[in-house]
């Protein structure tokens, strides 16, 4: 009996020592690192809130060894400039619009197809499911690693000329669009004169009347104070905008498996947080834009359907040039998502 107790004691001590050793090894796999995280939005925007939450989480999970330094409001340049910095290994992370990746993986243009989804639940299903995973799997060979998607929100048109109450009201307007061919060609089909331009230049361009307006989610319109230089905001909800969470592959490959898991787990929590903040902010922003003097209008479903039909030949043309395997996933997943 005494021998059994002795054996049990030795086994328990061995187990404790093994756990301690494992814990020590895990701790040694986390080095002191500072992650440079850049994005285009102001610090009152949900994207910035998500960055800060992610920073808190990685610090907590690494006992303070992993630190994050945020560079908001285009401090590190445009999405394309930051993409180059990530691929070159001089910047660790960014949260660009997913559309910015269409230049290196053109199938990311699928996420810019107008009127594809009509609510956030549909968008989440598309981005978090097989389609999002298939697109992200194409990035490592381009020098990037993706950890998921944050919400930018449904995009809406502002301008200084007139309210947009029907599709024909768009005709002739000179609007800034994201530098992406899906956007450019879609707006051309709607009769708009599209002007590709980085967001950092949009306020001045609208202030000087170089352009009549632009399109962005309500939260971006409010955060950038575009209400100061625009009169009309219209709920076109023409494209769901997502930001993709990117890590430099050169940086990622330097991380231990423990550090990689901390980033992945932390981002999973930060995604849920950022999307919640984004949806709350969008609703609040509409009221704030109206309070700031903007005239708000909505388009009847028949007019939105007319716009969707107008741009369909454009998206069909792009779809014909995309990877057939990706297109198959897209169509299957979109059909499932639209039931939500």
Nearest Cα neighbor of 201 from 167, 178, 169, 170 is 178
Give 48 or 26, the one with higher predicted confidence: 48
Tokens of 35: 């992650």
* pLDDT for 18 beyond 50: no
pLDDT band at 180 (very low <50, low <70, confident <90, very high): confident
Average pLDDT (221-236) is: 97
Predicted pLDDT of residue 203:
98
**Rounded to an integer, what distance in angstroms lies between the CA atom of residue 39 and that of residue 223?**
14
Sorted by where each starts, the structural domains of the chain and their CATH numbers stand as 33-337 (3.40.190.170)
Give the chain's radius of gyration (CA, Å): 23
Tokens of 306: 């007319």
Give pLDDT tens digits for 290-334: 999 999 999 999 999 999 999 999 999 999 999 999 999 999 999
Sign of CA dihedral 180, 86, 74, 124: positive
Give 150 or 21, the one with higher predicted confidence: 150
Q: Give Cα separations from 143 to 22, 96, 252 (angstroms).
A: 32, 15, 10
Q: Which residue carries 């100061």 as its tokens?
A: 228
The pTM of the full predicted model, rounded to 2 decimals, is 0.89
Q: How far apart are the first and last CA of the chain?
A: 63
Give 142 or 18, the one with higher predicted confidence: 142
Predicted pLDDT of residue 27:
60
Mean pLDDT of the chain: 92
Average pLDDT (201-227) is: 97
Predicted pLDDT of residue 26:
59
Average pLDDT (170-194) is: 96
Nearest Cα neighbor of 214 from 251, 187, 191 is 187
Predicted pLDDT of residue 179:
87
Residues 6+ apart with CB under 8 A from 323: 107
Q: What is the 3-state secondary structure (H, E, C) of 237-263?
A: CCCEEEEEEEEEHHHHCCCCHHHHHHH
Give pLDDT tens digits for 148-176: 999 999 999 999 999 999 999 999 999 99
* pLDDT for 94 beyond 90: yes
Predicted pLDDT of residue 5:
45
Cβ atoms of 147 and 264 within 8 Å: the answer is yes
């Amino acid at each position: 009996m005494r021998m059994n107790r002795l054996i049990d004691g030795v086994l328990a001590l061995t187990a404790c020592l093994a756990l301690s050793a494992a814990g020590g090894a895990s701790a040694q796999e986390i080095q002191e690192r500072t992650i440079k995280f850049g994005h285009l939005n102001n610090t009152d925007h949900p994207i910035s809130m998500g960055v800060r939450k992610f920073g808190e989480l990685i610090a907590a999970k690494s006992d303070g060894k992993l630190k994050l330094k945020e560079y908001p409001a285009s401090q590190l340049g445009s999405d394309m400039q930051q993409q180059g910095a990530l691929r070159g290994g001089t910047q660790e992370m960014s949260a660009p619009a997913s559309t910015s990746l269409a230049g290196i993986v053109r199938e990311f243009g699928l996420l810019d197809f107008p009127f594809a989804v009509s609510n956030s639940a549909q968008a989440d299903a598309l981005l978090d499911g097989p389609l999002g995973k298939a697109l992200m799997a194409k990035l490592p060979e381009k020098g990037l690693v993706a950890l998921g998607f944050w919400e930018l929100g449904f995009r809406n048109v502002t301008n200084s000329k007139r309210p947009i109450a029907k599709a024909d009201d768009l005709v002739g307007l000179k609007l800034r669009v994201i530098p992406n061919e899906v956007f450019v060609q879609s707006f051309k089909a709607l009769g708009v004169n599209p002007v590709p331009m980085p967001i950092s230049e949009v306020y001045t361009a609208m202030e000087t009347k170089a352009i009549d307006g632009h399109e962005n989610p309500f939260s971006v319109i409010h955060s950038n104070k575009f209400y100061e230089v625009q009169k009309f905001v219209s709920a076109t909800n023409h494209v769901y905008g997502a930001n993709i969470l990117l890590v430099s592959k050169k940086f990622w490959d330097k991380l231990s498996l423990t550090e990689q898991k901390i980033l992945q787990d932390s981002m999973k929590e930060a995604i849920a947080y950022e999307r919640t903040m984004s949806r709350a902010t969008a609703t609040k922003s509409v009221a704030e834009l109206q309070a700031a003097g903007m005239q708000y209008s909505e388009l009847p479903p028949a007019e939105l359907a007319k716009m969707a039909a107008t741009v369909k030949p454009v998206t069909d043309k792009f779809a014909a040039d995309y990877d057939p395997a990706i297109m198959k996933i897209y169509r299957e997943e979109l059909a499932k998502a639209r039931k939500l």
